[in-house]
Amino acid sequence: MSGRVLRLPSFAKINLGLEVLGVRQDGYHELRTIFQTIDLRDDVEIRSGGGDVTVRCDHPGVPTGQQNLAWRAASELRRYAKRTGGVEIRITKRIPVAGGMGGGSSNAAAVLLGLDRLWRLGLGPEGLHTVARRIGADVPYFLMGGTALGLGRGDEVYPLWRQVRVHVVVADPGRPISTAAVFGRVDRSLTPRENSNRIFRFISRDLEGKGTAFPILANDLEEAALEEAPDLAEQVRRIRGILVREGAVSASLSGSGSSFFGLFDDLQRARRAHADLAAEGFSAYRGRTLSLDQYRSLWRRALGPQGRRPR
Ligand code: ATP
């Protein structure tokens, strides 16, 4: 297949905090969360040409057909923009699969942003929002990145004025957890939330990125995730122990798990936590949060100069 090629970054997210407020009329959950992009990334290559949408991925646990969110993104945008051309997508995975780090949603957003440029649609992140939310609740967030408040199903996204800038250490217990199963368990235990103003309290604090407000935050899915995967409880206890011992200002499950992260003000502490986790046999990653500006400029660089929009 020949045609133009774009090589794109597809970053992971963590949820700095997550509140499940209830079940909505449409069956989805009403959420309040703070999304944060980090510099752990997959690579997504898109090449225009041919007549079909095809996906290849180097990770055996990722479906390559219609269930792949990147496939769905290309197909939905093709329909929306009334295009007939095909596209070949290649994904190199580094983000843990089914680890609560939004890898599939991020890949989908990367395909939307890339095809918008390749096909010169001129939609931009705002214009792509409608298509993005049809693919998945977390996809709209990845059109924006940085530190952002997510409301509704998580698909109403608002950038926060203060962007969190800290070191991040993530441990991947290598145990995929189904997001749907975790939400199913939450439903059975859902009672009105006493802590449902935690995220707004966090935002209204003078958030300096120094960790002062992080202890307010929690992840309402953690208990249900550990009920769903009881074999994980011991690992999570060990991971949390290491992160806290090394001085993490926050240590939490990301999304519905099973990735578990720690935030650090201090690089040396983050390095030590990373080394300790590796020494205990955990697959671990160390990096940084990406602010809204950093995310935008990395994307600008990847997409290259904007061509003229066809009339
Ligand atoms: P969720 O958005 O459901 O919380 P997650 O962040 O926990 O997901 P993902 O890595 O996005 O985890 O994958 C969840 C499931 O989606 C995987 O088990 C996989 O079968 C499927 N999937 C579809 N497309 C992709 C993709 N491009 N990358 C990874 N997984 C994908």
Residue owning the nearest CA to atom 20 of ligand 1: 62
- In ligand 1, which atom is closest to the CA atom of 97? 10
Please give the distance, rounded to the nearest whole angstrom, from the Cα atom of residue 308 to the centre of ligand 1: 34
* Residue 2 confidence (pLDDT) above 80: no
pLDDT for position 168: 98
At 192, the pLDDT band (50, 70, 90 cuts) reads: low
Higher pLDDT, 306 or 155: 155
Please give the distance, rounded to the nearest whole angstrom, from the Cα atom of residue 264 to the centre of ligand 1: 27
At 176, the pLDDT band (50, 70, 90 cuts) reads: confident
Coil, strand or helix at 11? strand
* Residue 247 confidence (pLDDT) above 60: yes
pLDDT for position 209: 53
Residue owning the nearest CA to atom 29 of ligand 1: 104
Please give the distance, rounded to the nearest whole angstrom, from the Cα atom of residue 206 to the centre of ligand 1: 34
Contacts of 277-283 with C-beta under 8 Å, sequence gap 24+, read 277/169, 277/171, 277/239, 277/242, 280/238, 280/242, 282/171, 282/172, 282/173, 282/235, 282/239, 283/96, 283/171, 283/172, 283/174
Q: Which residue from 53, 68, 258 has its CB within 8 A of the most atoms of ligand 1, so it is best to mutate? A: 68
Least confident piece of the model among 2-6, 158-162, 232-236, 288-292:
2-6
pLDDT for position 200: 85
* Residue 307 confidence (pLDDT) above 60: no
Distance of CA 132 to CAs 57, 128, 216, 262, 302, Å? 21, 6, 31, 29, 20
At 186, the pLDDT band (50, 70, 90 cuts) reads: confident
Residues 224, 97: Cα–Cα separation, whole Å: 19
Residue owning the nearest CA to atom 9 of ligand 1: 98
pLDDT for position 284: 96
* Residue 1 confidence (pLDDT) above 90: no
Please give the distance, rounded to the nearest whole angstrom, from the Cα atom of residue 96 to the centre of ligand 1: 9
Residue owning the nearest CA to atom 12 of ligand 1: 98
Least confident piece of the model among 158-167, 246-255, 302-311:
302-311
pLDDT for position 311: 42
Q: Which residue from 97, 105, 141, 256 has its CB within 8 A of the most atoms of ligand 1, so it is best to mutate? A: 97
Please list the alpha-helical segments (H only) found in 171-229: 179-189, 198-204, 222-228
Q: What is the residue whose two structure tokens read 């990145």? A: 145
Please give the distance, rounded to the nearest whole angstrom, from the Cα atom of residue 147 to the centre of ligand 1: 21
Please give the distance, rounded to the nearest whole angstrom, from the Cα atom of residue 104 to the centre of ligand 1: 4
Residues 232, 225: Cα–Cα separation, whole Å: 9
Higher pLDDT, 77 or 179: 77
What is the residue type of 86?
G
Helix (H) or strand (E) holding 97: none
Q: What is the mean pLDDT of the chain?
A: 90
Residue owning the nearest CA to atom 27 of ligand 1: 104
Q: 16-26 burial, b if ≥16 CB within 10 A, otherwise e? A: bbbbbeeeeee
pTM of the model: 0.93
pLDDT for position 191: 62
Enter the DSSP assignment of 307: P
Q: Enumerate the active-site residues.
A: 13, 138
- Tell me the torsion sign for CA atoms 296, 300, 303, 308: positive
Which residues have CB under 6 Å of ligand 1? 62-63, 67-70, 91, 97-105, 107, 138, 176, 179, 255-256
* Residue 162 confidence (pLDDT) above 90: no
Least confident piece of the model among 73-82, 138-147, 208-217:
208-217
- In ligand 1, which atom is closest to the CA atom of 101? 6
Least confident piece of the model among 131-135, 274-278, 304-308:
304-308
Residue owning the nearest CA to atom 15 of ligand 1: 98
At 257, the pLDDT band (50, 70, 90 cuts) reads: confident
pLDDT for position 29: 87
Contact in structure between 248 and 213 (CB atoms under 8 Å): no
pLDDT for position 310: 43
- In ligand 1, which atom is closest to the CA atom of 138? 2
